[in-house]
Structure 1
Amino acid sequence: MKAFRCRVCDNPLHFDNSVCVSCGTALGYSRSERAIVPVDEHGQYVDATGLVWHVCRNLGLSGCTWLSRVPGGQCSVCDLTRTRPADDDPIGLEQFPLAEQAKRHLIAELDTLGYPVRSKEDDPEQGLAFDLLSSVDENVVIGHADGIITIDLAESDDAHREKVRANLAEPYRTMLGHFRHEFGHYAEWQLVRGDELMSRCRELFGDESKDYQAEIERHYDQGPPADWASSFISTYATMHPFEDFAETWAHFLHIADTIETARDYGLLTVGAISDFSQFRDVVTGVWIPLSIALNQMNRSMGKDDVYPFVIPPPVLDKLDFVAALLPVDAASA
């Protein structure tokens, strides 16, 4: 995540700021500029080309500050949400903003990485959409199918999410993590095509044709293999090759985004990720020392580790593979 500053008073800003707390200037996020920009009293921003942009209509509903091309319309990232809680569901509506915040973070990171996100409206067959569903009155299963990512809004609640995390003995569980993981399924569907890539993917992650339901049952009945930590990033990754890929993709995004943030805030002096010939060199040379330091800082505050994972050599190979599927140009961050 970039370190943003107010263009009016140069005060530091956070990604979701709608108003500068120093000078009171109203703000919006310009996706094309990847910058927080000032908007006038009408919620408008005129870019360098003369185009007029407007604050998203969902500012009050979900806290969205991204700019729309249409007055009174919603931004391109809100357009990706196909389903949201009903207006008569106060619990779902209360949980909705945190999910949208995580989605905006995901899309901003994908923009940084150069991933061309296409909506279902633009590409009904291959595009992306999100169903952000309330589980107040129905069971919601988090997952991905044919470009539709489904998220249970109950995961916005800290107490609920921590209870699930403890029950599943997971070291880490966040709303942003869900979005990154499920997008990993979409990314595999979109990017792993052609005989050469498919062959290498199977070599690293296993045969994706394994019966998924049978593997789920095996995983929850028997648990992970005793030696799972020597080849996988998490126990969940051992369930099925699809889950191994999605978990690896999520960690690729965890690592890339945290390093970008550390660089932008002056905590790292290394070059951009794109300066490295292999992502494994980023992990071993930058991420592992940084994550150890971050973990120790959290422990100094009596908090859990920021990154409670160990990366064995086979996972370095998997991270290399997913990182090479798209251009990583952190220099543009």
Structure 2
Amino acid sequence: MVRRGPLQPGEKVQLTDRKGKKITIQLVEGEETQTERGVISHDAIIGGPEGMVVTTATSEGSVGSAAEAYRNNPRKPWKNTRRIGGWQYTVLRPRLMDFILSMPRGAQIMYPKDIAQVIETCDIRRGMNVLESGGGSGAMSLHLLDAVGEEGSLTTIEMRPEFARVCEANATVYFGGRPAWWNLLTGDFDSVAATLEAHVYDRIFLDMLDPWNRLEQAARVIAPGGVITCYVTTTTQMSRLVETFRNAGCWTEPEIGETLERGWKAQGLAVRPNHEMIGHTGFLVTARAMAPGVEALHKRQRGTKDTYTDIDDMSPQEQQSRLEELELRDISDRKLRKVLKDLDAQVENIPGTR
């Protein structure tokens, strides 16, 4: 839903000052918002155009001058002067990314960089039927609802009723009403998914602690050729999930990826990356569903390569005999002799080693 025209009561707007500091508020007739630098009247914004500039007014109880502020609080005079008006903010409707980062939330939300990657790798498009598990605070749900549109449908399964309420409220505020194409269900994934029709979902997204335990029901409800993407945060979760995909036989070879984000500063000739970046937040593991009864094709493991046996569980004799099979040494004898010859020559050139 695209909103244009004058700003209306009930809408959220983002206020940005010249230093880049942002405040997100919901417009309510007769209300005021207190900032560090004065008061903003909502009535001064309502009915105005997007992209306007609003100026703060002096807040009640603030002092009228810097000299008076110093007399009242000589140690920290700036505290009261900041409440003096005259500070300007640009008024714009928030982007979905801005809305999500500022909305009330209980559960930790996914970062926009990961959400965007889910939409791309899971190939979620308008008109699709999508199943989501783990609604949380609604960050991913809002993007899925926006991506499938009114022509599609989203079914969200959230285990905790209180999180479901947070998720539903955030979606209602963002869309200006509860989306009619959204089916929000509460309960554990397996129990709720067992009540859903088989092979009707084009895409599935799982954001939970143990997605590998949910693949059986996911395989039942997903359509042949459908895409499933799982979000996990640790390498142990990722490894277990990937092996479960492979062992199930009904999923294609899983793809694994993560996204790192780094902003840049560009001011005249001072062009450089920011000191901070958003590094690892989670792994995205994606696979596709095979047709019922068809075994997925997977890369064959080399006969001499064992990547599953833990060498610490072997006896010393077994460890010695398995070194080459485990490929812990991938250098030929000829190359090894040459390396040793070169090193012997270098050692002899060191005084006192002959």
Answer whether TM exceeds 0.5 for this pair. no
* TM interval, short-chain normalised: under 0.3
More helix by share: 1
CA radius of gyration, larger in: 2
TM-score, with normalisation over the residues of structure 2?
0.23
Which protein is richer in strand relative to its size?
Answer: 2
